[in-house]
């Protein structure tokens, strides 16, 4: 099979008609097989507020109680997943929605935290890669919600590690994280590529800071899982194959000699 890209698209792209339409068109124009993993945290929080359920977070992660898990399943497995599939089908992509629960695609356990019970917030245990490769071999684009299967319940997982785990399980050549940022900025310009060591140095020196840190950490986890590269970009950047590419430390990055506007 050709090189496979796993694309994680954040929820901010998925409640905007123009953005989701553009995303579907880019997927339709892509020659290589694509696996899509999506978030939807904004819509989950909106529904929680409507139902007077206060969202709780620790270390940037949602703490999922039983009531919130039901909402997460409604939003991620229901409205967001099926909306994205609908737009992809309209763009000519043979897309199929599924969650980590379906066919036991992603098995999970309760996330471990040193001081807090994370409830139904989970972490990846294993991935049945053949569930994805079977679809790809038939020309189907999987669209995966990160709700996953536990021993006694489902779990709510962050979409970033789910994308990385799926990529490692199917031998994908990259994970692309699409959000509202074009890449990592160094001296006001986007770095074309970074090694792990360069990225860690930029974090230590405060060049990479704030909300970019967890994005970069997700990219580095992808490299640790054996996937050759990870990319942080926005929708326009993915369409033009731009962004910041994270590569193994043995490769030569282009932080200094090639920094894009």
pLDDT band of residue 47 (cuts 50, 70, 90) is confident
The single residue of 8, 102, 164, 234 carrying the catalytic annotation is: 8
pLDDT band of residue 180 (cuts 50, 70, 90) is confident
The single residue of 160, 164, 183, 234 carrying the catalytic annotation is: 160
The single residue of 102, 164, 215, 243 carrying the catalytic annotation is: 215
Please tell me the distance from the alpha carbon of residue 231 to that of residue 244, in angstroms, as a whole number: 6
Active site residue 160: yes
Which of the given ranges, 10-19, 46-55, 131-140, has the highest pLDDT on average?
131-140
Can you give the pLDDT at residue 114? Answer: 74
Please tell me the distance from the alpha carbon of residue 118 to that of residue 109, in angstroms, as a whole number: 11
Active site residue 139: no
Can you give the pLDDT at residue 10? Answer: 86
Can you give the pLDDT at residue 249? Answer: 55
Distances (CA, A) of 210 to 60, 72, 75, 214: 11, 26, 27, 8
The single residue of 39, 41, 100, 164 carrying the catalytic annotation is: 41
pLDDT band of residue 1 (cuts 50, 70, 90) is low
């Amino acid at each position: 099979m050709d090189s496979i890209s796993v694309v994680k698209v954040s929820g901010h792209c998925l409640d905007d008609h123009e953005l989701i339409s553009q995303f579907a068109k880019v997927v339709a124009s892509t020659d290589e097989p694509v696996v899509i993993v999506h978030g939807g945290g904004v819509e989950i929080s909106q529904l929680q507020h409507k139902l007077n359920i206060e969202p709780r977070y620790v270390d940037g992660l949602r703490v999922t109680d039983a009531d919130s898990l039901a909402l997460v399943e409604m939003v991620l497995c229901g409205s967001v997943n099926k909306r994205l599939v609908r737009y992809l089908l309209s763009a000519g992509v043979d897309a199929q929605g599924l969650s980590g629960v379906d066919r036991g695609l992603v098995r999970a356990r309760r996330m471990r935290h040193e001081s807090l019970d994370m409830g139904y917030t989970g972490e990846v245990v294993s991935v049945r890669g053949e569930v994805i490769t079977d679809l790809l071999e038939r020309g189907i684009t999987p669209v995966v919600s990160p709700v996953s299967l536990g021993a006694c319940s489902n779990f709510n997982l962050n979409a970033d590690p789910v994308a990385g785990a799926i990529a490692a399980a199917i031998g994908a050549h990259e994970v692309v994280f699409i959000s509202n940022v074009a890449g990592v900025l160094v001296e006001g310009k986007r770095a074309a590529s970074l090694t792990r060591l360069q990225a860690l140095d930029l974090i230590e020196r405060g060049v990479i800071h704030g909300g970019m840190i967890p994005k970069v950490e997700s990219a580095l986890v992808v490299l640790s899982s054996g996937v050759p590269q990870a990319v942080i970009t926005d929708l326009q950047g993915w369409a033009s194959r731009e962004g910041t590419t994270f590569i193994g430390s043995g490769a030569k990055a282009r932080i200094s000699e090639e920094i894009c506007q």
